[in-house]
Amino acid sequence: MDIQTAMLPDTFGGTSSISQAEFSENYFNVPNGVEISWEGDIAKKLDGFLPSFITGCNVKYNNGGKMETFEDGQPLIIDMDLSFQEGVLLTQGNYQSISPLGIKSDGTKITNPNLKGGD
Structural domain harbouring 73: 3-109
pTM, full prediction: 0.61
Question: By three-state DSSP, how is residue 85 classified?
Answer: strand
| Residue 117, pLDDT score | 40
Pairing status of strand 27-29 against strand 10-12: antiparallel
pLDDT average per 10 residues of sequence, the chain (119 residues): 81 60 67 89 91 89 82 90 91 86 66 43
Q: How many domains does the chain have?
A: 1
Evaluate whether residue 41 is within a structural domain. yes
Measured distance CA(99)–CA(112) in Å, rounded: 11
Evaluate whether residue 69 is within a structural domain. yes
Evaluate whether residue 114 is within a structural domain. no
Evaluate whether residue 115 is within a structural domain. no
| Residue 29, pLDDT score | 79
Cβ(50)–Cβ(86) under 8 Å?
A: yes
Evaluate whether residue 31 is within a structural domain. yes
Question: How many CA atoms lie within 13 Å of 84's alpha carbon, on the beta-carbon side?
Answer: 14
What 3 state SS string does 1-31 have? CCHHHHCCCEEECCCEEHHHCEECCCEEECC
Evaluate whether residue 119 is within a structural domain. no
Evaluate whether residue 104 is within a structural domain. yes
**Kindly report the CA angle at 36 between 82 and 86, in degrees rounded to 5?**
75
Evaluate whether residue 117 is within a structural domain. no
| Residue 60, pLDDT score | 87
| Residue 78, pLDDT score | 87
